[in-house]
């Protein structure tokens, strides 16, 4: 049977060419529209980065007078002879690897990691949370170098300045950098904590910055660092004592070594402030009172893990409960600094300076009374989950 084909069943060559051109144009138009839609969607969804936590309130900037700036210029030779001596030689300093499993030997490495994990098994969750919080605070070191270099009169103007103040900040940063490195690696090897949540928290904290209230003023900045180095010495020292009681001698040694560094750095910063009291007792007294009125806030105040908007308060509550860092420690540090700088013996102050002196000397017992009252009025303990320990809850 013969098949009869209709002449229109197959389009002509020119018709096929026109049809192909039409389809090509249609596809191109659809691809272009889809591309534009995708770009528009990205433009709508992609928002500028913004810190998860913000410093509360506006801050004063550049409050120091030109006359007082000259004091720091005049102290450069003194700083070289009296402050840079608190830095250790790199070749003689301890390094994180001194306390960690050696990775060169595969067999030995795995055995050492196994021993580390066995030791860390007995550390309670509350101690782990405080240890993680301390480590994250150390890991936010880029922020601390940044804010120290915001101080008028002592900042590193070039990035490699040979001013003693600039040398101190860079070398201090280099020494402090070992602390976070060591604690981070130890916690990672322990297998007891959620490292991804911890790493997110570190990024959040560095991105948020630090609420200093220094006003770019080196008087206030060095008063703060004197207090803060003392606080980290106390915190790491107490952590060492507590983990030792739970059998992790190596971790206790690590925390004790970090505390020793903090103590040495504290000695340098308190010596700077001691010199300021010698040269400008009235101005230094007023700045000390001002910093204490505003309260010395911890560097990790803006800490966030992407889940808990009150993470700093919760972490601090755990530290208070287990005795790592408490309100009494805060008062102890004030008393230590009052004694260290012999504030009660200062004479020749202005009337405003005398009022500041009375305020500072009377503050530690006042804080202790407030703490006692707060403990009596404390609400019933509640359980809070911590992402750093895989969402397990702790009582605060």
From the candidates 152, 181, 229, 287, which is the catalytic residue? 229
Tokens representing residue 303 in the block: 């800490």
Is 329 annotated as catalytic? no
Is 104 annotated as catalytic? no
From the candidates 139, 175, 176, 215, which is the catalytic residue? 176
Q: Is the dihedral of CA 16, 22, 24, 27 positive or negative?
A: negative
Nearest one of 290, 296, 231, 218 to 266, comparing CA atoms? 231
From the candidates 154, 179, 287, 326, which is the catalytic residue? 179
CA distances from 267 to 74, 164, 226, 352 (A): 21, 17, 8, 28
Q: Give the SS3 label for residue 190.
A: helix
From the candidates 212, 225, 232, 284, which is the catalytic residue? 232
Is 372 annotated as catalytic? no
From the candidates 76, 78, 80, 94, which is the catalytic residue? 94
Is 62 annotated as catalytic? no
Other CB atoms within 10 Å distance of the CB of residue 116: 18
Is 80 annotated as catalytic? no
Nearest one of 54, 270, 82, 229 to 165, comparing CA atoms? 82
Is 91 annotated as catalytic? no
Is 262 annotated as catalytic? yes
From the candidates 261, 266, 290, 308, which is the catalytic residue? 261
Sequence-ordered list of residues with C-beta below 8 angstroms from that of 371, at least 6 positions apart, any chain = 326, 327, 328, 331
The alpha carbons of the chain give a radius of gyration, in whole angstroms, of: 30
Question: DSSP characters for 286-352?
Answer: HHHHHHHHH----TTTT---SS-TTHHHHHHHHHHHHTSS-HHHHHHHHHHHHHHTTGGG--S--HH
Q: How far apart are CA 374 and CA 338, in angstroms?
A: 25
Is 265 annotated as catalytic? yes
395: enclosing H helix or E strand: strand 392-395
Q: How far apart are CA 4 and CA 1, in angstroms?
A: 9
Cβ 269 vs Cβ 219: under 8 Å: no
From the candidates 154, 156, 265, 284, which is the catalytic residue? 265
Tokens representing residue 140 in the block: 């936010």
Cα dihedral 138→313→203→189 (10° resolution)? 60
Tokens 């180095």 identify what position? 229
Tokens representing residue 380 in the block: 């019933």
From the candidates 156, 215, 262, 287, which is the catalytic residue? 262
Is 352 annotated as catalytic? no
Cite the active site residues.
94, 138, 176, 179, 229, 232, 261-262, 265
């Amino acid at each position: 049977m013969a098949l009869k084909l209709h002449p229109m069943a197959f389009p002509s060559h020119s018709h096929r060419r026109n049809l192909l051109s039409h389809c090509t144009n249609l596809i191109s138009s659809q691809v272009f529209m889809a591309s534009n839609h995708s770009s528009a969607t990205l433009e709508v969804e992609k928002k500028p980065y913004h810190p998860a936590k913000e410093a509360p309130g506006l801050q004063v900037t550049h409050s120091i007078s030109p006359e007082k700036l000259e004091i720091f210029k005049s102290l450069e030779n003194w700083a070289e002879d009296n402050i840079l001596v608190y830095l250790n030689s790199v070749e003689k300093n301890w390094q994180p690897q001194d306390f960690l499993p050696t990775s060169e030997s595969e067999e030995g490495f795995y055995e050492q990691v196994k021993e580390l994990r066995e030791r860390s098994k007995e550390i309670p969750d509350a101690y782990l949370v405080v240890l993680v919080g301390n480590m994250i605070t150390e890991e936010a070191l880029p922020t601390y170098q940044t804010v120290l270099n915001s101080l008028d009169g002592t900042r590193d103007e070039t990035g490699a300045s040979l001013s003693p103040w600039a040398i101190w900040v860079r070398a201090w940063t280099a020494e402090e950098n070992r602390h976070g490195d060591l604690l981070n690696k130890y916690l990672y090897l322990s297998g007891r904590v959620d490292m991804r949540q911890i790493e997110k928290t570190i990024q959040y904290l560095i991105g948020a910055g630090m609420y200093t209230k220094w006003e770019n003023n080196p008087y206030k900045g060095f008063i703060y660092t004197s207090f803060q180095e003392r606080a980290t010495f106390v915190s790491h020292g107490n952590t060492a004592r507590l983990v030792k009681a739970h059998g992790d001698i190596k971790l206790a040694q690590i925390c004790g070594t970090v505390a020793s560094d903090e103590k040495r750095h504290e000695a340098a910063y308190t010596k700077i402030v001691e010199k300021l009291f010698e040269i400008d007792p009235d101005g230094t007294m007023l700045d000390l009172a001002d910093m204490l009125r505003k309260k010395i806030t911890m560097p990790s105040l803006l800490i966030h893990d992407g889940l808990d908007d009150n993470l700093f308060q919760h972490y601090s509550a755990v530290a208070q409960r287990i005795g790592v860092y408490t309100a009494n420690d805060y008062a102890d540090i004030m008393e230590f600094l009052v004694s260290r700088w012999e504030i009660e013996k200062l004479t020749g102050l202005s009337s405003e300076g005398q009022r500041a002196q009375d305020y500072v000397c009377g503050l530690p017992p006042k804080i202790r009374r407030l703490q006692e009252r707060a403990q009596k009025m404390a609400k019933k303990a509640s359980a809070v989950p911590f992402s750093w320990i895989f969402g397990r809850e702790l009582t605060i």
